[in-house]
Amino acid sequence: MTTAPFHGRTALITGAGGDIGRAAAVRLAAGGAALILADHEEAAAGVERTAGLVAEQPSSTGSSVRLFDVTSADQVRGALAAVPGP
Condensed to tens digits (0 to 9), the pLDDT of residues 40-61 reads: 989 999 999 999 999 999 888 8
pLDDT at residue 62, as a whole number: 84
Residue 73 scores a pLDDT above 60 = yes
**Does residue 73 sit within a domain?**
no
Model confidence pLDDT, tens digit, residues 1-28: 457 899 989 898 999 999 999 999 999 9
**Does residue 41 sit within a domain?**
yes
Give me the CATH number covering residue 59: 3.40.50.720
Cα 26 to the center of its chain, rounded Å: 9
Q: Which residues contact 66 (CB under 8 A, 6 or more apart)?
A: 36, 37, 38, 79, 82
Number of domains in the chain: 1
**Does residue 81 sit within a domain?**
no
Is the Cα torsion angle 68, 70, 74, 76 positive or negative in sign?
positive
The whole domain housing 31 covers: 10-68
**Does residue 50 sit within a domain?**
yes
Side chain identity at residue 44, one-letter code: A
pTM of this structure:
0.85
Rounded Cα gap, residues 10 and 62, in angstroms: 10
Per-residue pLDDT band for 86 (boundaries 50, 70, 90) equals low
Asked whether the beta carbons of 70 and 76 are under 8 A apart, the reply is yes
